[in-house]
């Protein structure tokens, strides 16, 4: 299409090379900067040198501290010149140099002089520069001038002061907040942009005062707003007020205002309003209609930005209100051929979201043409959209699966291929009919796959799913071919997959053994080792017997241990007589704070392994506790909670507690810090009142002998509880100690101390304390292999809840289990949700939970809880946790 336009003149070569900055060098420019010190300043020359300095900075060169200081000092000399243009360049470079506080003082008086100059250009720019480089103390000196500037009749000066105010609000809020009267006045300004800047600042000053923002919006939506930018800002404030007002019934406040903005003359305002309407929470289709209508007009605009804006917004609307968008489908289909590929991709994915079952085939035809000429990143978006479409219309799996397998055969990078493979894997998992054809597509793909990672992942997946199909033998050829033709990593994976077929399908055993025996002669150690291991454990010495369950678990079972923990334990293991004990590896996954995903549930886990947590602190606790003789007979530590604060921040003594759970004991570890330099605490202990925790009996406690200022110390209290019972209760805590005065100058404590007490907050032991968060990589497999023997199912009413998502997270927190496969995220506006949880219960019992939620119009939430575990009693215990609360 468009080549870079260059002059076609004959002397082009010379000209293209020409640049005023050709061969520019920092050292030389810094030398040149000496002209700033000349007694007779040449403004033009100085301007040129500043431009050169700015050019260097702009190209990414940086000055050392010394160089910057030197330049800064000589630049300050230029304030002597009266030349307007030069002064302007001086302002610019001072901002770029961002001088340090002690340097700022040097220019302060010059800038303050400019701030009060008669020339508006000086005033506006001096304000911007000074506010950029100033600190709090200086600000109080110039505050008076800034307040005047805000209401200055020159709009440039007023805007400069207001914009500076917005920046300063971040660092010196208490000062800027004092300007609100002036800012309020500026909101009424007749100058369009002053109004915009004043509105921005005023809202930020008052953002924590909902009532004030609401009043502001009310008055402005009735008045006149002069600039489109200010109008956009007002729309955003209005949406915020609507969001926070939360009225359940009747007409939505300010909706009429938003709707009227759809008829504004500026496109940016129309779009802002349309977008705001589509984003209203719980928007009705009646409210949506006018917004969709203007967006539909934008779809056929000649301006790409408008088409993009419209299709991007409709794409989001399609997630929640697909029906509302279907009116635009014809316009959207014509956008598939849009020159701008971003627009075309958004159009396609929107169509995929709104399409109905009958239109799928036609749509796929159009997409096939489109796929050949877009970049990988767009293709990935399309593949993901097709995957969700297929899950929505399982009957259409045939044509969609065909599409996926076709594009799998075409050229493409790793990320793209991975997206396709992940999609096929998910379809195989969720649509049983699609399994056989999907597996064959994957088999064909590995015949000619250049990515080792994908080959090994697919082989692993084949090993799980292949043996369960009606005719497992047909996959063997594809797998064994890999042993011949691939690199060592893929060969090793193939050997494992073959062995899995052998272990699961007895009829195939003899043939598999023949193939495995050939692998013993492989050139790679790992491949040979694996083949040998499998032959020996599966009984490859001739006899065809059913493979023992233990062997299957040994070879192919889940380790149930976070790999990070295993890695740490193995690193810590020192070679000795004692063999490494895999049971000694802590199973606790350190819970990560749930990062709010941009699109909840958008990326279901494909082949990927479960997320590995950071190394846990369990090791450290275990070492600490086992070093204390009183606790040595408690057995193996099951779980340690994260610290719970028992004091407010910044009190005299900071105490938090960690709950350590053993089979028959619970140990509270109180971490104390004395924050008073004039005190030394001795004999510090915590007196625990367990009268509200009947099942617990205090057995021992261990005080801290001495707790000097700012040195953490730990005191312990241990309780006995009935074996295996998940006893719960509330404990009140009192810190007791002997306090001694310390002379801060010498650091010596007085002889005599006084006994004192300090009330701490209560502490609770809850059911979740007996549960460890341990995830599984494939919940469905784990669920099925657990079996129905000890399944316990029951239904519960949770009463009215704030939202479905809130109910889901409340139950997850109550049980303290690990959500699997991203099912903790609830799609907005959905009426039902299934959540999968996994964990290990006290006594090292695996537990899997499947929760099904439904919400009714009155926000009543009902829940079906199905538990599977290795122990019947544990299933009952889980139900008890839910039913007791």
Cα separation, 608 vs 752, whole angstroms: 64
- Nearer to other proteins by Cβ, of 6 and 545: the residue is 6
Cα separation, 241 vs 393, whole angstroms: 39
Contact positions vs other proteins (CB under 8 A): 1-2, 4-6, 15, 18-21, 43-44, 47, 50-51, 54-55, 58-60, 62, 83-89, 92, 121, 128, 132, 156, 159-160, 163-164, 166-167, 193, 196-197, 200, 203-204, 207, 228-229, 232-233, 236-237, 240, 267-268, 271-272, 275, 302-306, 308-309, 312, 339-340, 342, 598
Least separation in angstroms between CB 153 and other proteins: 17
Least separation in angstroms between CB 313 and other proteins: 10
- Nearer to other proteins by Cβ, of 164 and 838: the residue is 164
Record the tokens describing residue 576, joined without a space. Answer: 């000795």
Least separation in angstroms between CB 804 and other proteins: 24
Cα separation, 35 vs 419, whole angstroms: 61
- Nearer to other proteins by Cβ, of 398 and 602: the residue is 602
Residue among 459, 552, 458, 571 nearest 505 (CA): 552
Strand partners, 668: 659, 717
- Nearer to other proteins by Cβ, of 1 and 66: the residue is 1
- Nearer to other proteins by Cβ, of 202 and 446: the residue is 202
Cα separation, 179 vs 181, whole angstroms: 6
Tell the residue number behind the tokens 């999907």, with chain if given: 438
- Nearer to other proteins by Cβ, of 234 and 667: the residue is 234
Least separation in angstroms between CB 412 and other proteins: 18
Least separation in angstroms between CB 318 and other proteins: 17
Tell me which H or E stretch contains 853: strand 845-855
Least separation in angstroms between CB 307 and other proteins: 9
Cβ distance 835 to 792 under 8 Å?
Answer: no
- Nearer to other proteins by Cβ, of 571 and 598: the residue is 598
Measured CA distances, 429 to 34, 258, 691 (Å) = 73, 45, 52
Helix (H, G, I), strand (E, B) or coil at 136: helix
Least separation in angstroms between CB 599 and other proteins: 11
89: Cα separation from own chain's centroid: 42
Cβ distance 271 to 306 under 8 Å?
Answer: yes
Least separation in angstroms between CB 366 and other proteins: 22
Record the tokens describing residue 430, joined without a space. Answer: 């969720």
Cα separation, 501 vs 471, whole angstroms: 11
> Residue 140: which residues within 8 A CB-CB, separation 6 or more?
175
Record the tokens describing residue 291, joined without a space. Answer: 């917004």
Residue among 146, 133, 161, 150 nearest 188 (CA): 150
Residues in the chain: 885
> Residue 516: which residues within 8 A CB-CB, separation 6 or more?
495, 498, 499, 502, 531, 534, 535, 540
Least separation in angstroms between CB 634 and other proteins: 50
> Residue 400: which residues within 8 A CB-CB, separation 6 or more?
360, 364, 386, 389, 390, 427
Cβ distance 697 to 720 under 8 Å?
Answer: yes
Helix (H, G, I), strand (E, B) or coil at 260: helix
- Nearer to other proteins by Cβ, of 310 and 704: the residue is 310
Least separation in angstroms between CB 869 and other proteins: 42
Least separation in angstroms between CB 791 and other proteins: 44
Least separation in angstroms between CB 83 and other proteins: 7
Least separation in angstroms between CB 874 and other proteins: 44
Least separation in angstroms between CB 192 and other proteins: 9
Cα separation, 542 vs 544, whole angstroms: 6
Least separation in angstroms between CB 559 and other proteins: 36
- DSSP category for residue 749: B
- Nearer to other proteins by Cβ, of 315 and 456: the residue is 315
- Nearer to other proteins by Cβ, of 80 and 885: the residue is 80
- Nearer to other proteins by Cβ, of 196 and 638: the residue is 196
- Nearer to other proteins by Cβ, of 18 and 521: the residue is 18
Cα separation, 563 vs 362, whole angstroms: 47
Residue 584: φ, ψ to 5° = -80, -5
- Nearer to other proteins by Cβ, of 309 and 867: the residue is 309
Least separation in angstroms between CB 447 and other proteins: 33
Helix axes 360-371, 397-409, angle to 10 degrees: 10
Residue among 217, 207, 187 nearest 199 (CA): 187
Residue among 284, 287, 296 nearest 255 (CA): 287
Q: Using CB atoms within 10 A of its CB, is residue 224 exposed (0-12), middle (13-18) or buried (19+)?
A: exposed
Record the tokens describing residue 749, joined without a space. Answer: 């404590």
Least separation in angstroms between CB 224 and other proteins: 19
Least separation in angstroms between CB 125 and other proteins: 9
- Please report, to the nearest 10 degrees, the dihedral formed by the alpha carbons of residues 179, 185, 190, 195 taken in order: 50
- Nearer to other proteins by Cβ, of 271 and 696: the residue is 271
- Nearer to other proteins by Cβ, of 152 and 272: the residue is 272
Tell the residue number behind the tokens 């005065």, with chain if given: 741
Residue among 294, 316, 362, 306 nearest 338 (CA): 306
Measured CA distances, 628 to 299, 378, 505, 624, 662 (Å) = 72, 60, 52, 7, 15
Tell the residue number behind the tokens 């700022």, with chain if given: 104
Tell the residue number behind the tokens 């050949």, with chain if given: 372
- Nearer to other proteins by Cβ, of 44 and 190: the residue is 44
- Nearer to other proteins by Cβ, of 237 and 783: the residue is 237
- Nearer to other proteins by Cβ, of 59 and 137: the residue is 59
Residue among 243, 242, 232, 163 nearest 204 (CA): 163
């Amino acid at each position: 299409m468009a080549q870079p336009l260059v002059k076609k003149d004959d002397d082009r070569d010379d000209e293209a090379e020409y640049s005023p900055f050709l061969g520019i060098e920092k050292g030389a420019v810094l030398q040149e900067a000496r002209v700033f010190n000349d007694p007779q300043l040449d403004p033009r020359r100085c301007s040129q040198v500043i431009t050169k300095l700015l050019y260097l900075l702009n190209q990414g060169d940086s000055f050392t501290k010394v160089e910057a200081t030197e330049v800064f000092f000589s630049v300050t000399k230029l304030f002597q010149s009266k030349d307007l243009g030069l002064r302007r360049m001086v302002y610019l470079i001072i901002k770029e140099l961002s001088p340090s506080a002690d340097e700022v003082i040097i220019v302060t008086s010059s800038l303050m002089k400019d701030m009060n100059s008669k020339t508006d250009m000086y005033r506006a720019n001096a304000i911007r520069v000074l506010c950029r480089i100033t600190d709090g103390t200086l600000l109080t000196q110039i505050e008076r001038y800034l307040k005047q500037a805000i209401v200055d009749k020159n709009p440039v000066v007023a805007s400069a002061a207001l914009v500076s105010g917005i920046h300063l609000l971040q660092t010196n809020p208490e000062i800027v907040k004092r300007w609100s009267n002036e800012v309020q006045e500026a909101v009424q300004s007749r100058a369009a942009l002053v109004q915009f800047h004043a509105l921005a600042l005023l809202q930020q000053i008052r953002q924590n005062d909902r009532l004030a923002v609401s009043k502001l919006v009310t008055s402005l939506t009735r008045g006149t707003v002069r600039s489109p930018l200010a109008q956009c800002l007002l729309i955003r404030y209005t949406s915020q007020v609507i969001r926070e007002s939360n009225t359940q019934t009747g007409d939505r406040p300010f909706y009429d205002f938003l709707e009227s903005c759809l008829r504004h003359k500026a496109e940016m305002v129309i779009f802002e309003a349309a977008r705001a309407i589509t984003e209203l929470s719980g928007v009705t289709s009646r409210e949506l209609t006018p917004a969709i209508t203007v967006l539909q007009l934008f779809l056929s605009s000649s301006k790409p930005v408008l088409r993009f804006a419209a299709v991007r917004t409709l794409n989001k609307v399609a997630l929640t209100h697909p029906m509302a968008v279907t009116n635009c489908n014809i316009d959207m289909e014509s956008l598939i051929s849009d020159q701008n590929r971003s627009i075309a991709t958004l159009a396609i994915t929107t169509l995929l979201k709104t399409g109905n079952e009958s239109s799928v085939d036609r749509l796929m035809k159009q997409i096939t043409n489109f796929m050949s000429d877009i970049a990988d990143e767009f293709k990935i978006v399309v593949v993901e959209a097709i995957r969700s479409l297929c899950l929505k219309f399982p009957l259409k799996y045939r044509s969609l699966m065909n599409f996926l397998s076709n594009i799998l055969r075409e050229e493409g990078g790793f990320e793209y291929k991975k997206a396709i493979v992940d999609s096929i894997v998910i379809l195989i998992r969720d649509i049983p009919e699609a399994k056989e054809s999907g597996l064959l597509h994957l088999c064909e793909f590995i015949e000619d796959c250049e990515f080792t990672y994908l080959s090994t992942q697919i082989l692993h997946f084949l090993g799980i799913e292949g043996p369960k199909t009606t005719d497992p033998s047909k996959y063997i050829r594809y797998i064994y071919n890999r042993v011949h033709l691939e690199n060592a990593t893929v060969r090793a994976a193939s050997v494992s997959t073959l062995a899995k077929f052998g272990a699961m399908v007895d009829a195939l055993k003899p043939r598999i053994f023949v193939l495995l025996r050939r692998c013993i002669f492989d050139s790679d150690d790992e491949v040979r080792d694996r083949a040998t291991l499998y032959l020996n454990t599966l009984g490859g010495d001739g006899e065809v017997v059913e493979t023992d369950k233990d062997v299957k678990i040994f070879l192919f079972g889940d380790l149930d241990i976070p790999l990070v923990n295993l890695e740490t334990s193995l690193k810590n293991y020192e070679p000795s007589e004692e063999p490494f004990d895999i049971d000694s590896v802590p199973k606790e996954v350190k819970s990560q704070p749930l990062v709010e995903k941009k699109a909840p549930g958008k990326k279901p886990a494909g082949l990927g392994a479960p997320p590995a947590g950071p190394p846990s602190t369990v090791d450290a606790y275990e070492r600490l506790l086992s070093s204390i003789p009183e606790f040595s007979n408690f057995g193996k530590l099951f779980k340690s909670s994260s610290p719970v604060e028992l004091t407010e921040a910044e009190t005299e003594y900071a105490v938090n507690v960690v709950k350590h759970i053993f089979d028959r004991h619970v140990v509270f570890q109180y971490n104390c810090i004395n924050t008073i330099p004039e005190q030394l605490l001795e004999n510090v202990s915590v007196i625990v009142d367990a009268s509200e925790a009947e099942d617990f009996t205090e057995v021992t406690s261990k005080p801290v002998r001495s707790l000097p200022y700012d040195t953490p110390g730990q005191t312990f209290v241990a309780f006995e509880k009935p074996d295996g019972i998940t006893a719960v209760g509330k404990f009140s805590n009192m810190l007791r100690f002997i306090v001694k005065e310390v002379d801060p100058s010498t650091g010596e404590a007085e002889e005599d101390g006084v006994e004192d007490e300090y009330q701490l907050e209560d502490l609770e032991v809850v059911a979740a304390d007996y549960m460890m968060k341990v995830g599984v990589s494939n919940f469905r497999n784990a669920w099925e292999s657990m079996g129905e023997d000890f399944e316990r199912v029951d239904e519960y009413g949770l009463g009215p809840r704030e939202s479905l998502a809130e109910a889901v997270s409340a139950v997850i927190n109550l049980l303290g289990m690990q959500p699997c496969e991203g099912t903790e995220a609830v799609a907005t506006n959905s009426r039902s949700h299934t959540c999968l949880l996994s964990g290990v219960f006290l006594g090292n019992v695996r537990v899997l939970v499947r929760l099904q939620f439904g919400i009714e119009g009155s926000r009543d939430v009902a829940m079906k809880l199905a538990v599977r575990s290795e122990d019947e009693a544990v299933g009952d215990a889980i139900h008890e946790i839910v039913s007791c609360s």
